[in-house]
Amino acid sequence: MQVKETYRTNIIVGYTIIFYVLMVYKFFNGMFLFQMLPSFFYTREDLFTWIFMLTNFHKWLLNNQLGCILMDTLFYTTPILFYLLYNQSIKNKTSNYNLFNITRLAAFIMLFINVAYIQCYTLYPTNSIEAHIAWMLFPIVFIAKDIQVFKLLTDGIRYFLLFFLMSAGIWKITQGGIFNTHQMSNVLLVQHKEILVITPQHWYAQFIQFLITTPKLSYALYFAGTIFELSCIVGFFTKKYDSFILIGWLFFLCFDHFIMRIPYYEISALLLPFIISVENSNSKTE
């Protein structure tokens, strides 16, 4: 099937919108590097991180206000600069062929900056690198010149998210959590122990306490999440149910934040292939 340039445009526009919505959210929640001003780091157990840590770049940013401001500035300005270059190259495609190559170069620079920023950001006690993987994957897609290659790489991101979700469900089975009706209650007790001790009378602490003391309800939530994760296997064989996966993942993000206090919104950019897929299927039925 012939892929039009509008497909690339929709992905890039969607990426840019999600990125800057999350930027505003992070700024007002004190989640920029210069706002946190990290003073220590921890070492992840993966080879790519070990290689990156050999540069000692993450150490340079420790207690370095100006360095953190510089990295925040680079990280949060490159996507809009890339978008502006791409938009200009589309408007003048026939006369500015070199501009499109410059846009691809900008995508490569964005990839370099994003990898350095996310590696450092997640080495400090903030969040897991898995939640930020979208910012390292999409610049690779943007480098592609041929629209068919661009579509192929975007589909790769779609399958990556499906694998990410399905493997989480499989992990719950292999670790035995799905067979333990008190699993979610125990997880909640560990996750919210500070709130339960410091502010036990707060409505949120009371709500969590209710879930902990009602293991059947908390297990039902755990079981429902596991079934959703496992059901994502259908996405490997058809895009017919992408709308259900999209809605289920949005619910998952909201509940993960509300019940577990884990803001996993950074990964939402990986939903773009599903959003485009749903839009395309809706346009065909109209």
> So what's the pLDDT on residue 163?
94
Radius of gyration of the chain (CA): 21
Using 70 as the pLDDT threshold, list the residues of the chain that sit under it: 1-2, 93-97, 126-127, 281-286
Q: Which residue has the tokens 């065909």?
A: 284
Q: What is the pLDDT of residue 3?
A: 72
- At 124 the pLDDT is 87
| Domain boundaries defined on the chain | 1-145, 146-286
The alpha carbon of residue 251 and the mean position of all alpha carbons in its chain are separated, in whole angstroms, by 15
Residue pLDDT, tens place only, 254-264: 998 999 988 88
Residue 239 is classified by DSSP as S
The backbone torsions φ and ψ at residue 50, rounded to the nearest 5 degrees and listed phi first, read -60, -40
**Tell me, what's the pLDDT at 47?**
87
Task: Judge if pTM exceeds 0.95.
Answer: no
Rounded Cα distance between 18 and 13, Å, is 9
Closest C-alpha among 248, 244, 257, 258 to residue 226? 248
User: What pLDDT score was predicted for residue 125?
Assistant: 74
Please report the pLDDT score of residue 21 as a whole number.
96
170-229: pLDDT as tens digits: 999 999 989 999 999 999 999 999 999 999 999 999 999 999 999 999 999 999 999 999
Distance, in Å, from the CA atom of 81 to the CA atom of 84, rounded to the nearest integer, reads 5
Q: Return all residues near 59 (Cβ < 8 A) that are at least 6 apart.
A: 41
C-alpha to C-alpha distance for 36 and 20, rounded to whole angstroms: 19
Q: How high is the pLDDT of residue 102?
A: 85
